[in-house]
Amino acid sequence: MAPLFPGFVALSASLSALVPSLEQGFNTSSIAKVRTNLLDIASASWELGTAAQALTELSWPALSVFNASAFPPSSRLSGSAIPADVLDIANKTVSAKSADSLPLIPNQGSAADPASIGVAVLLANWTRADTRNSAYADAASDQLEYLLDHAPRSPTGAISHRANEVQLWADFIYMVPPFIAYYGALEGGASGRALLQTAYDQIRLYRDALKDESGLWKHITLGSFQDNTHWATGNAWAAAGMLRVLSTLNHSSVARQFASHQANLTEWIDEILDASWAHQTSTGALLNVIDNSTSFVDTASTALLASVTYRMAVFKNETSRIPVADRAFGLVRRSVDANGWLQNVINPITFHDPLPAGEHSPEGQAFVLLLQASWRAFSDYIKRTRTT
């Protein structure tokens, strides 16, 4: 069907006149190193889920929710069209899943993180060669059942990010709603629409709990401890997760029934982008705590929020934020060393300390791939428009 918003159809004169710097993107060799490093070190559930998403957007964009061909994906892939790395993550996850575990990976501490692999598992199920094999479908269904029927919930109905207590983290938005929405878009019918609504509702409940008057999101609320800082990675997770749900809704067969939802998601993403980039440093970076001038530079969150910015420029047919995204891209590109490792990143476990020298962040590596994919999509869109 035709996309709901005109940003997916045509660019305005102002956007078509914009000429992206062809030198801005990473070269093939650098991206290959970043990708290899990511696959070498990703092991936790959220790392694998983020890796699978980044690989899909970078190498198999036709299967990404940002492509109109996403729903349904082709069930007859062959040759280079097969998302081998993505399916490998799904295969290993499902093969290792014990029969008594509803989550795709058990005992992660998080009720949310295992769901991040769910889109890859659903894609593996849709494109499987052996149609009698129900392992992927069963695993995805189990994961969905856990989220909807077993995971703890807040008094408002927000699914907890943690498994052992009710606690809401901004990270949740990238881990869970995109999976629920993708499941719903593939399933279709009344049950599919209900899942799309659920994905949106979870975002709304989390925003109600975490957004404050600054326009930014706090990191963690409820439970045994809180993090009321405006953690850059948490805001990036939230914006990027909302964007995936927005694109899923827009490319689903029921896009028009969710027009108001898409309008709200667009506004909510814009809130984070505007509030975040208002604190961009002169080097193009965001600080680990966005609005704390004594905090330190974090290239990982800078990369992820820049990727969202490029995607939103295409979606909204509007380029006012492209200069800040370009500055951020330049900073990230300078921060990837000759061996393909992103430097100057936050420790994703402690939230408020840089990674020690010699250590690396799987999610940071994935964010570089997401940035490259989004910049390329933006650049390609402009070039196509300039020739029409």
pTM to 2 decimal places: 0.94
Within-domain flag for 293: yes
Q: Mean pLDDT by 10-residue block, N- to C-terminus, for the chain (388 residues)?
A: 40 46 78 98 98 98 95 87 96 96 96 98 93 95 98 98 98 98 98 98 98 98 98 98 98 97 98 98 98 98 98 94 96 97 96 94 98 95 76
DSSP characters for 106-136?
S--SBSSGGGGGHHHHHHHHHT-S-TT--HH
**Which pLDDT score is estimated for 149?**
98
Within-domain flag for 253: yes
Domain containing residue 90: CATH number: 1.50.10.10
Within-domain flag for 153: yes
Strands (E), the chain: 168-169, 220-221, 286-287, 297-298
The SS3 call for residue 381 is helix
Structure tokens at 374: 């989004």
d(CA 41, CA 362): 6
HSE value, Cβ hemisphere, 13 Å, CA-based, for 388:
12
The SS3 call for residue 294 is coil
Split into its structural domains, the chain has a count of 1
Within-domain flag for 119: yes
Within-domain flag for 1: no
Torsion of CA 267, 54, 7, 25, to 10 degrees: 110
- Host domain of residue 32: 6-386
**Which pLDDT score is estimated for 13?**
41
Angle 82-67-232 from CA coordinates, rounded to 5°: 100
Cβ proximity of 250 and 4 under 8 Å: yes
**Which pLDDT score is estimated for 16?**
43
**Which pLDDT score is estimated for 12?**
44
Within-domain flag for 303: yes
DSSP characters for 180-205?
HHHHHHHH-HHHHHHHHHHHHHHHHH
